[in-house]
Structure 1
């Protein structure tokens, strides 16, 4: 039973479980979702299992430091993606977010809806001060999502992402608790 769940009008974000393995493997195996992701396409489902088992273990700790959520549609329960929230040092009250949405569900507002919900969870529930994200400079879809929810581009890091296409530059984004007012 998950201890942490975040709901929006259309989505439920719940901590991943081993029963999500096949869905996560399918998501990680899509060339479209791999284009701007440094993880790479897993060779087989066992490789995916070895990737997600530490995520699942972390989700079960008394004090979670790296939340990994499955994103499900409320309407039919379909798994549509993953969302991560990695907490930094307690002193600095910050975290980094990442997400991966199945390409069948792109351009429907699900990434923005998920991100808004996780930002609110981070600021309201976890009492964070700052939430950060990064994305490849050619990942126009993610840039639009990050900016749509009010994240500010703060930096440009050169050749930090080892993508299949070669080393990619990365844009750095952040949003502060004072900038959102934590509205649903």
Structure 2
């Protein structure tokens, strides 16, 4: 699976991406609001990636983890994923993790817009949702920029660095997407 925007190439991960993904997962800045935690070894990252790779072989595929790179330089900038729920509900959850060197450049918004477009146009989703820690203001802004609406707050559901954090829940419906200025043109 390959998705593209004007600046980004978004493709499914491979085992060859392990080094870049391990570096991303090991950064304290990207770990601040991540429930995964910093891996204790390269092997731990390999194990996570092997789970993701196994999910790519299931038919029908319901879980997608994408490697994001800049088209111009082929530089790795992060990960974005979509996991489908039960078929009857036609829903999915998205998440993303971007390398600190590429924050505040619009890449996350661009990648999420493309993933949402793919989810509605190709996977025929009805609802796509995401969540973030209440203190993760940057992530909240990204979700709002792509047309996701805040739906509520879950209390103390995220284990972050030994403490429990509340999270905000965001979602966009197919009706919202098709009647929105947030649809990407690419």
TM-score normalised by length of structure 1: 0.96
Moved more, 55-64 or 125-134: 55-64
Give the number of aligned pairs: 181
Structure 2 spans left out of the alignment, 5+ residues = none
- The CA deviation at 1:11 is 0.3
- The CA deviation at 1:165 is 5.5
Q: What is the root-mean-square deviation in Å for CA atoms of aligned residues?
A: 0.9
TM-score normalised by length of structure 2: 0.95
1:14 and 2:31 correspond? no
Q: Which runs of 4+ in 1 moved over 2 A?
A: none
1:81 and 2:93 correspond? no
SS at match of 1:169: strand
- The CA deviation at 1:102 is 0.2
Give the aligned partner of residue 132 of structure 1. Answer: 129
Counterpart CA distance in 2 for 1:175 and 1:96 is 10
1:122-162: per-residue Cα shift (whole Å, max 9, x none)? 00000000000000000011011001111000010000000
Counterpart CA distance in 1 for 2:8 and 2:60 is 25
SS at match of 1:174: strand
Counterpart CA distance in 2 for 1:111 and 1:174 is 16
Give the aligned partner of residue 32 of structure 2. Answer: 35
1:72 and 2:69 correspond? yes
SS at match of 1:9: coil
Counterpart CA distance in 2 for 1:140 and 1:165 is 20
Give the aligned partner of residue 154 of structure 2. Answer: 157
SS at match of 2:10: strand
Which residues in structure 2 correspond to 1:142-153 (within 5 Å)? Answer: 142-153=139-150
Counterpart CA distance in 2 for 1:95 and 1:21 is 25
Contact 2:56 2:64 in 1 (8 A): yes
Of 168, 171, 174, which residue of structure 2 is paired with 1:171? 168
